[in-house]
Structure 1
Amino acid sequence: QTDYIDLYQLHWPNRGSYHFGKTWDFSPEFDPQAEEDNFLECLHVFQGLIEAGKIRHIGLSNETAWGMPKWLQLAKDHNLPRMVSIQNEYSLLCRNFEPDLSEISLSEGCGLLAWSPLTRGILSGKYLNGAQPEGARLTIETRVEHRVGSQTDAATSAYIDLAQRHSLDPCQMAIAFVNQQKFVSSTLIGATTMEQLRSNIDSIDVTLSGEVLDEIKVIRRQYPMLF
């Protein structure tokens, strides 16, 4: 039990964003001044909570290349608490964090907490060819259907083939890829079984070779933006 929060994150921009399948029809129109006013209001509230000892650090989640630097600049200009992290989706299949957000993250010291490094388990290959394993996440959750399809299947198969040719576990290779990015501070893993959890944890000891990383680049060029 504790009486303070180490890292308090804002889960979602009030103005909305292009995450969760909204990439293809995202509209960037919003009132910048209203957003900036809201950012400042939040930062002042956070300052009070930090001074009261209730939270220690603050972070972002599902932010964009407009929002992230705006938060950092306002904190600097007004001598308010700065964001120390950003929790966005990042995996072999979803690399929307690159290149703009990754540059900001690395240069400004606001590390990525990468969520869904296995793309909801898709990179395990268990959903290939329309499979719906009993109790699996994509079998239960319809709101993530935008992640599956023929292109996703093709990219997943290519990554699994790459892992097998180099005697790597596909899931561990996928997580290791995320772990090795310089802008990533931590990788958020999830598991249904103890076996999955052990495998995910063991990925921390996997270092991908230059050859594997080069082959990943080739696959990405074939399947650059899947959802």
Structure 2
Amino acid sequence: MKMNPLGRTGMTVSELCLGTMTFGNQTTEAEGHRQMDAALAAGINFVDTAEMYPVNPVRAETIGRTEEVLGTWHAANPGRRGDYILATKISGEGSLARNGEAITSTSIRPTLEASLKRLQTDYVDLYQFHWPNRGSYMFRKNWTYQPTARAEAVRQDMEDCLGALQAEVDRGTIRAFGLSNESAWGTAQWLRLAEAGKGPRVASIQNEYSLLCRLYDTDLAELSVAEDVGLLAFSPLAAGLLTGKYQGGAVPEGSRMSLSPELGGRLTDRVLPATQAYLDIAQRHGLDPVHMALAWCRTRPFMASAIFGATTYQQLDVALGSVEVTLSDEVLDEITAAHKAHPMPY
């Protein structure tokens, strides 16, 4: 398992990250613990969660349950907390968590302490803002997104939050700060304020990225490389589309599509033909499509880690096999051609 720098923090993270958003819903506590054991044994040293998980769907009555599953794993495995990098997130305005409260300098500490209690640990390695207070073009909002925030107000809000984050760094409850569902401009403002001494420097950006979703390839890619702010790619298998399991109208029982028929806006009239183009490449070259999708992420110059979720242990086992796969130039050229033929399918 290859290790990559986590920004300029001095920490390194495995090229694959275990996503846990199904723990406590589709994935039982026992299965979640089994996945933790297997992932760490395979060389993964990075696990991602959030206060609002589990998802599919997000429900007020299950908020925090995923962190609780990780907490019972910690309780059952004393002394193993230092074996891996743990990341969690504070939800932005409008979430079912905390009655939709925004991220503010006063909401950070109590939210973090609630996460720590559920996780049964006294620190997290990477504390991430799940989405910005001013809104985001992510989650298929890019088709209608119109920014309205004023720069000075946004920067003042960021500065206030950085002060609260620095206080947590100082007391040892977090080691690093990360963003999620952020833009190039927004990330640049966080970096600008950190350079001015207002608080911790951004270590990473967790945005959606896959063969089917490549918004990051534009301005964020350059910022990411130039400023050492690596991408933590979520949904690198495009919510399961790139496995091929939904082709031909199939909806496997217990799958994400069975619970979220539109796959969060990903299911368009263009997406299945685009998916088929990538499945055809994998078939021509004798590749498992999961391996191809995850191995391709590894080729991107800004990639710190690809976050995959597995409902079952069997899915986890398949994903782990991707680290043994290196894509040929011929495969990469065909992927480029497919991307040009099927841009932005959702």
Q: 1:207 to 1:72 in 2, by over 3 A?
A: same
Matched residue SS, 1:189: strand
1:183 correspondence with 2:302:
yes
Map of 2:149 onto structure 1: 30
Map of 2:69 onto structure 1: none
CA contact 2:203–2:229 (8 Å) conserved in 1 = yes
| 1:1-227 alignment, distance < 5 Å | 1=74, 2-142=121-261, 144-227=263-346
| Deviations 1:123-143 (CA, angstroms, capped at 9, x unpaired) | 111112332211100220246
Matched residue SS, 2:343: coil
Structure 1: distance between partners of 2:219 and 2:195: 20
CA contact 1:90–1:114 (8 Å) conserved in 2 = yes
- Normalised by the length of structure 1, the TM-score is 0.96
Percent identity of paired positions between Structure 1 and Structure 2: 49
CA contact 1:91–1:116 (8 Å) conserved in 2 = yes
CA contact 1:20–1:144 (8 Å) conserved in 2 = no
> 5+ residue gaps in structure 2?
1-73, 75-120
Q: CA deviation at 1:79?
A: 4.9
The count of corresponding residues between Structure 1 and Structure 2 is 227
- Deviating above 6 A after TM superposition, structure 1's stretches of 4 or more consecutive aligned residues are none
Structure 2: distance between partners of 1:9 and 1:203: 27
Matched residue SS, 1:85: strand
Cα RMSD (Å): 1.2
| Deviations 1:6-52 (CA, angstroms, capped at 9, x unpaired) | 11011111111111111111112222211111110111111111011
Q: CA deviation at 1:195?
A: 1.7
| Deviations 1:153-212 (CA, angstroms, capped at 9, x unpaired) | 011001001001001001110011112212011110111222211110110111111111
Q: Counterpart amino acid of 1:104?
A: L
Structure 1: distance between partners of 2:202 and 2:291: 30
Q: Counterpart amino acid of 2:244?
A: G
CA contact 1:138–1:145 (8 Å) conserved in 2 = no
Q: Counterpart amino acid of 1:166?
A: H
Structure 1: distance between partners of 2:224 and 2:186: 12
Matched residue SS, 2:274: helix
Q: Counterpart amino acid of 2:300?
A: Q
